[in-house]
A and B are shown apart, each in its own frame.
Chain A
Amino acid sequence: AQKITQTQPGMFVQEKEAVTLDCTYDTSDPSYGLFWYKQPSSGEMIFLIYQGSYDQQNATEGRYSLNFQKARKSANLVISASQLGDSAMYFCAMREPAHNNAGNMLTFGGGTRLMVKP
């Protein structure tokens, strides 16, 4: 079974509008964390935002916010006021304890390609 599912392979959004990128996850461990990374065409992986499973409030970082719905196991990324430079691949990832309890695994979803239209 997929640990991280991103159901939107590609999305368009009009410049200056908000967009939501979906992410659902699967874990039985109570202690975990969710990350979003951006990968522009240059190829580097850029950390955007993090949400811990015990965090009471949704994480926010500038124009990025994470809509964390624990019961539904979803961690959607919301980008407000989209800019042309937001066009990129976006990956959702989950940190959870490894089976051997000696660290944390980091597993990625398949990604969503966001294209911002001028």
Chain B
Amino acid sequence: DARVTQTPRHKVTEMGQEVTMRCQPILGHNTVFWYRQTMMQGLELLAYFRNRAPLDDSGMPKDRFSAEMPDATLATLKIQPSEPRDSAVYFCASGPNRDPWDGYTFGSGTRLTVV
């Protein structure tokens, strides 16, 4: 089965450090989403890309977060500097953005803890 691969699975870092999360979307999928999941806020859309172009990152704190897609096989989400309130699970999802709409596929997530 094709899958979305996220690395690392877990990350513990100190406040102020840079964090980089990586996502390898499914080959042929041209839409990539980044979500953050917390108990309080649920699933928040941070950014999304279509054909590697960033289309919407309005949900992302611009002063510390950045999202890029340097090529079709890699999407990155960076936090610099990290803060304890960034602790969450970060999901990447990819999809073909066309019929048949058989679901966007999620990665296993990166569980980030900032201490």
Contacts and interface: CB of A to CB of B under 8 A. Distances in A.
A33 B109 CA distance: 24
B42 A47 contact: no
Interface string A96-117: 0010101111111111000000
Contact of B102 (A47, A105, A106, A109): A47
Interface in B18-64: 31, 33, 35, 42-43, 45, 48, 50, 53, 55-56
A44 B45 contact: no
Given A45-B106, A104-B97, A110 B42 contact: yes
B93 interface: yes
A35 interface: yes
B48 A105 contact: yes
A52 B103 CA distance: 11
A44 B43 CA distance: 13
Contacts of B33: 106
B68 to A, nearest CB: 17
Contact of A100 (B55, B91, B104): B55
A30 interface: no
Contacts of A104: 31, 97
A98 B103 contact: no
Nearest to B31: A103
B105 interface: yes
A103 B48 contact: yes
A100 B49 CA distance: 13
B50 A45 contact: no
B87 interface: no
B104 A106 contact: yes
Interface of A: 33, 35, 37, 43-45, 47, 50, 52, 91, 95, 98, 100, 102-111
Given A37-B106, A106-B104, 18 more contacts: A35-B103, A37-B103, A43-B89, A47-B102, A47-B104, A47-B105, A91-B43, A95-B101, A98-B56, A100-B55, A102-B50, A103-B55, A103-B97, A106-B45, A106-B93, A108-B35, A108-B43, A110-B42
